[in-house]
Structure 1
Amino acid sequence: MSATSESVDIDEKQTRTSRRVGLGLVATAVVLAVVVRFAMFDHESSDYKIFVKGWYEFISTHGGFGALKYSFADYNVPYLYLIAALTYLPIPALTGIKIISVAFDLLLAYFTYRVVALRHTGRRLPALAALIVLFLPTVATNSGMWGQADSIYAAFGLGGVYFLLRRRPWLAGVFFGLSLAFKLQAVFLFPLLLVLALTKWIPWRVLLAVPGVVLLLDVPALLAGAPVGRLLSVYAEQTSTYTELSLLAPSIYQFLPASADAAVIRPIGIAGTGLVILGLCLGVLLSRVRLTTAKVVLMGAASAVLVPFLLPSMHERYFYLAEVLTVIAAFYLPRRLWYVPVLVQVASFLAYLNVLFPAADSTPPGDLPGGPSLPVPGGHSEPGEMSDGMPGDMPGWMSDQYAPTLEFRVLAALMAVAVVSVVWTAFREFRRGSPPGARKTPIHDALSTR
């Protein structure tokens, strides 16, 4: 008995040591990821110099949160709340804005860990998935170099997926609402919500939580004096800002000739995307298969990569959710999807480079000659003001810059392979009825035993 007891003690000590070593390695990797981002903090992108910096300065010089009553930015107010909070802190604007994005990178990695942990027992594979997402070139440069806010809506969106999988629909609705409140691109996951509502995975009334959260987050700006109409129309204004078929996104529109009539093709593209999504949703509904974690994750990944590929007027950053969800999907079905996040990452990151490091003879995307001017108190505008900090009519150089090129057609072809792969894999999984190697227990039964 004593020998057996000593053997058990040794095994327990080895297990504890192994866990400590593992946690140490993960912590070191996370610190390294943050250090890499801090090393890029000095870079000022054209988006920061022309837009975000101006928003910060306007808020800072017009009463902090009180400045939200003016129309000076084209982002929804929750992100402006964060910028307003920065103006009260002794932190440089550029540093503070990037710290916000980096913080949500960490939250994004956390939810990646949690979603993958629903598929794999133990900590190694979930931790590996989280670290891969944290070190994705697009994720690192989006926050550390570019200072964009994509990690915010993506982290909340992925949190919504996680709570869907845990069968906590109301909390999932809240997270999807938070995601939508920060960026309209959260709608790339809405086909997943539609399918789950149609299959009675979630109650229909849960969908009301999404706009409810968005409206609730408008209240502080409303109290500050912001017009109701402006708060409710911010996303409508965004969708009408650009009319190009593709804004350096590796999408299907890269295959069209530069002479293609955007005014004719845009509505066709929007309607066509809607029909494709509805058709796929109907296909899932008619399949009558029992949903599993793998199927829900696959639907999320398919939605996140398919919608921006088909919709017109997409920016290069709009595959951000797809970059993360294809990594997660690859951990669910590695034999079939291991290469998909590689394709998505290559296509997206090379598109990023064209914006972060534009050619010397080109105007950086988003950078207008002379830059925008901001509204002044009293409702009067300075000469050259652009509505909501954005251009009205696109100048001629803009169309030339966004014209399809051989390089972007290659990137779009890589993305097309990724789209077809994810959609085809999802189709096969729904035909099969259950993923290979998956537990046969339905997810709601499996989670009840956790």
Structure 2
Amino acid sequence: MFGFIKNGERMKKELGIDKFIKNLISKYLFEICMLAMIFAATAIRCRFASETTLSPDYESYYKPWVDFYRENGIIKGLGNAIGDYYVPLNVLYALCSLLPVEPWIPLSVVTYVCEMLSACSIFGIFYVLTGRKHHSMFAGVATLFLPFVAFNGSLWKQVDSIYTCFILISIYHMLKQHYRATFIWYGVAFAVKLQSVIFLPVLIILYITEGFHSYDKVVKDAQARNSFSILEFLWIPAIYLMAGLPEVLCGNGLRRTYLSYLYQTRELDSEGYGMVSFFPNLYNLGFDDYDSLLSTAAIMLTFAVFVIITYTCYRKKENLDKRTVLYLAIWTAWTCVVLLPGMHERYDYSVLLLLTPFAILLRKKILWPMLIANICSLAVYARTLFRADDLINMPVVSLFYVAAYLYVTIDIMKLINGDTGEKYGEA
């Protein structure tokens, strides 16, 4: 009898537990699924992080840099400014030298934290644009599974996620019309890595067109439209100068510290990159070895394209709502990596990170170009990390990649000119 009573009490407890679990699932199933996806993304990074032989840069650059700081100390190390990065990344490698572990451990942790910050920013950006919390949250978490994101930080040990996360924070504030915060965070991104300059054109265009227009309530007064002063651009050099202070104080010298980006732009000649370094743009179509002849022309072509798009945006500024400005930010950055010389394999990281959820959530018309660009990116990573040189034909990959870019170019030009009827279709 007592055994029966005890069994009954145990069954009631079990039923209570089941009820609790089912209520939890009923209320928070979406959040539980997001946590499960984050766990899976973390597990992927943990498996990739310890692999150091596939990275073409870890054993040759990053580990020796950390070892240099271990042997010479941070002050002497920063005073000699080993490597070709600007100060914030040099400080990162210096700090890694203080930990009694292999350098890939802290580097992988930092890049993954920045990937998570990027995912949060993606959520914020698309929540502002769509008002759909779950769609935007899923978009942010899903970016952690994009191949180039997973491979870049944990497997390659690259740092593209670091400057990208600051760019995305800047774009979030831009869409919220917090312009000072926009330029401060963009200044941080620029101080981390020169490649963040590919998002500068959209800020210039936004200034010239006096802020956002038809997506918000259209008003005549520029101040009511919450435009911003040209003085806000001064945050970019100000933060760049402040970021260089650690090396200056350690004795590296003003010239060597603050001209770091100028020295980086000369690597086309000093390191023999040619017009392109394994990036799938149009210079793979037989133009790579003619950098001394074509580099200036490529830069001027890019400049001319931006003059045309800026003029078009000013004439049609009533069509520049927040969604179109985000699209414009993606396109201008993509234009830089397609047209400028000396682009590396990873330089479209931030472009694809924004293009992918944008196409899925807001612009299904460009789903195919987005998928093609991601597949081309995967092919480039396969070639670089997994030694698939024999399988990957770069001219063919470049043709598909440039075709995807041109399709998007035509689409955004029609959108800015107001030729497409209904603008956006949400998921």
Normalising by structure 1, we get a TM-score of 0.80
Partner of 1:416: 402
Cα distance in 2 for partners of 1:66, 1:408 equals 42
Which of 316-325 and 18-27 deviates more?
A: 18-27
CA displacement at 1:410 relative to structure 2: 1.6
Task: Identify the residue that residue 247 of structure 1 maps to in structure 2.
Answer: 277
Among 65, 72, 76, the residue aligned to 2:82: 72
1:286 to 307, 315, 320: 315
Determine if the alignment matches structure 1 residue 136 to structure 2 residue 136: no
From 114, 119, 124, give the equivalent of 2:134: 124
1:328 to 338, 357, 371: 357
User: Which residue matches 1:171?
Assistant: 181
| 8 Å Cα contact 2:202-2:332 kept in structure 1 | yes
- 1:57-96 equivalent positions in 2, closer than 5 A: 57-96=67-106
- Structure 1 residues 223 and 155, CA, compared in 2 at 3 Å: closer, same or farther? same
- Measured in 2, the distance between the counterparts of 1:159 and 1:83 equals 23
Amino acid at match of 1:410: V
Unaligned runs of 5+ in 1: 1-13, 362-404, 440-450
The alignment status of 1:194 with 2:180, answered yes or no, reads no
Decide which of 25, 32, 45 is 2:40's aligned counterpart: 32
Structure with the larger RCO, 1 or 2 (CA within 8 Å, 6+ apart): 1
Deviation at 1:340, TM superposition (A): 2.8
1:291 Cα offset (Å): 2.6
CA contact (8 A) 1:163 1:169 kept: yes
Q: Does the aligned pair in 2 maintain the 1:326–1:340 contact within 8 Å? A: no
Q: Counterpart of 2:99 in 1: which secondary structure? A: coil
- CA distance in 2 between counterparts of 1:347 and 1:438 reads 26
Describe the shift of the 1:16–1:169 C-alpha distance in structure 2 as closer, same or farther (beyond 3 A).
farther
1:65 Cα shift?
A: 4.3
Report the CA distance between 1:248 and its aligned residue.
0.4
1:301/1:322 contact within 8 Å kept: yes
- Specify the code of the residue in structure 1 equivalent to 2:394: F
Q: Distance in 1 between matches of 2:27 and 2:190?
A: 38
Instruction: Give the CA deviation at 1:426.
Output: 1.6
CA distance in 2, matches of 1:68, 1:350: 37
> Over aligned residue pairs, what C-alpha RMSD do you find?
2.4
Whether 2:62 is the aligned partner of 1:52: answer yes
Partner residue in 2 for 1:161: 171
**2:421 paired with 1:432:** no
The answer to whether the Cα contact below 8 Å between 1:323 and 1:345 also exists between their aligned partners in 2 is yes
Q: Distance in 1 between matches of 2:420 and 2:176?
A: 18
Amino acid at match of 2:375: V
| Post-superposition CA distance 1:353-391 (Å, at most 9, x none) | 221123699xxxxxxxxxxxxxxxxxxxxxxxxxxxxxx
Which consecutive unaligned segments of at least 5 residues does structure 2 have?
A: 1-21, 212-227
Q: Which consecutive aligned stretches of 4+ in structure 1 deviate over 4 angstroms post-superposition?
A: 14-19
Greater radius of gyration (CA): 2
Match of 1:378 in 2: none
Contact 1:292 1:434 in 2 (8 A): no
Amino acid in structure 1 at the alignment position of 2:50: D
Once the two structures are superposed, the pairs formed by residues 275-354 of structure 1 within 5 Å of their partners are 275-354=304-383
Distance change >3 Å, CA 18–CA 282, structure 1 → 2: farther
